Structure 1
């Protein structure tokens, strides 16, 4: 287990499960219904502002979609995974969540387990495409996992999902899983035929995904409510990292 950093800025030390053990994930995942690890509750207004500032700096066009059509932003709760809050100064800090857990505000773990990594562990600081306050989800906890959030969508429209992704450079992964290819599906539940597979490469051969990159996929809405899912297809305990999730309704 990695030692806690000196002078950590917390009201109490981060829990033991927030550091990769020598044998990764020897501790049980966080159980559903737990607290947010002693930190302030989620503030939707603050998160909306956090997301909006980052997006404005990304320089993406607003209100322009397909020719003759229009677009509308779809609300995504906790798009940068800043709740639950994880130690922001330790490069090994993380929290693990298992099946059915909804402790990641706005999201539910659908299968396996996933990790939430703190800011330093996520390497979001200094990225030109990721807000520096963002945390990230590793789609592999003890093994391949997945998360979902239900979005309000327009029947028979399409939805463009934009998010940032990179290979997982956590110290444990660098030492133990450097050659594993990290990949995932992005999909709406109940519509696997339209799932989009995205492969990021490996730690030893990441290509451009050595740093955060923006990805976009367009999916047909499944009705008035569509369950957006990110599902790992990566074996082992080190999966792709994602953060800063956005969705746009492309109404004809």
Structure 2
């Protein structure tokens, strides 16, 4: 079967599969079955102490994440709002719009799903927080713009939503970036970042999986 490449530019609330050489309808036959290949996706390290949040400027790190632009706030359990999971989250606008990035290993011609929890700093405007997530790898750029409306949200009800998109690897390493496009110090809030490879299952000798010669087994995925 001929192998192709796909550079997906999506703005969706749920992960969408991009499968090499298969029609889009074959996405229903793809299963995620592997741990995330990015580190510190929940921003649990280092532990933020003191006032409950720490401003981190460009050139510094948050675990495996590199702060590439502006500044961000690492917000702890003692901070002004609840994390999506664990104890900590990140405001992508510290004193000014910031960005974080991390390089991670990939297998050429394999497809991956990027997932993350998104909310917004409810303590200041604008109400709608904007930014984008981007994967770069050689000539491949896959980007998803996001926005989050903080109207009616509070520190005790942040209203996190899951966002996601997919890409197909061209090489052995890729870089994932999250960038705030929100002016000021009250930006998009990010937590629980994952990048997971997607596994294809071969059809049994008999039977009909429908599309593309790919099938997902029923029952437990042992």
TM range, smaller chain = 0.5 to 0.7
What do the CA deviations read for 1:142-197 (whole angstroms, capped 9, x no partner)? 1111001111112233221111111113xxxx2xx333421121111356852100
Residue aligning to 2:96: 143
**2:30–2:199 Cα contact (<8 Å) kept:** yes
Bigger relative CO (Cα 8 Å, ≥ 6 apart):
2
- Work out whether 1:194 is the aligned partner of 2:132: no
The answer to whether the 8 A contact 1:122-1:136 is kept is: no
Aligned length: 171
Structure-1 separation of matches of 2:121 and 2:76: 13
- Over the residues paired in the alignment, what is the CA RMSD in angstroms? 2.7
CA contact (8 A) 1:134 1:243 kept: no
Tell me by how many angstroms 1:222 deviates: 4.5
The residue that corresponds to 1:87 in the other structure is 49
Alignment partner of 1:185 is 2:132: yes
Is 1:157 matched with 2:110?
yes
Matched with 2:178 is: 230
- TM-score when normalising by structure 1: 0.59
How many Å apart are 1:97 and its aligned residue? 1.3
Q: Write the distance in 1 (CA, Å) between the matches of 2:192 and 2:44.
A: 10
Q: Deviation of residue 219 (structure 1)?
A: 2.6
The answer as to 2:45 corresponding to 1:97 is: no
1:76 aligns to what?
Answer: 38
Gaps of 5+ in 1: 1-64
Alpha-carbon distance in structure 1 between the residues aligned to 2:58 and 2:163:
26
Change in Cα spacing, 1:235 to 1:194, as seen in structure 2 (3 Å) is same
Alpha-carbon contact 1:74-1:152 (below 8 Å) kept: no
Which structure has the highest strand share of the two? 2
Provide the rounded CA distance (Å) in 2 between the counterparts of 1:211 and 1:68. Answer: 31
Unaligned residue ranges in structure 2 (runs of 5+): 1-25, 201-222
CA contact (8 A) 2:126 2:186 kept: no
Q: Calculate the TM-score normalised by the size of structure 2.
A: 0.67
Q: Which has the larger radius of gyration?
A: 2
Please, which of 72, 75, 80 is the counterpart of residue 117 of structure 1? 75
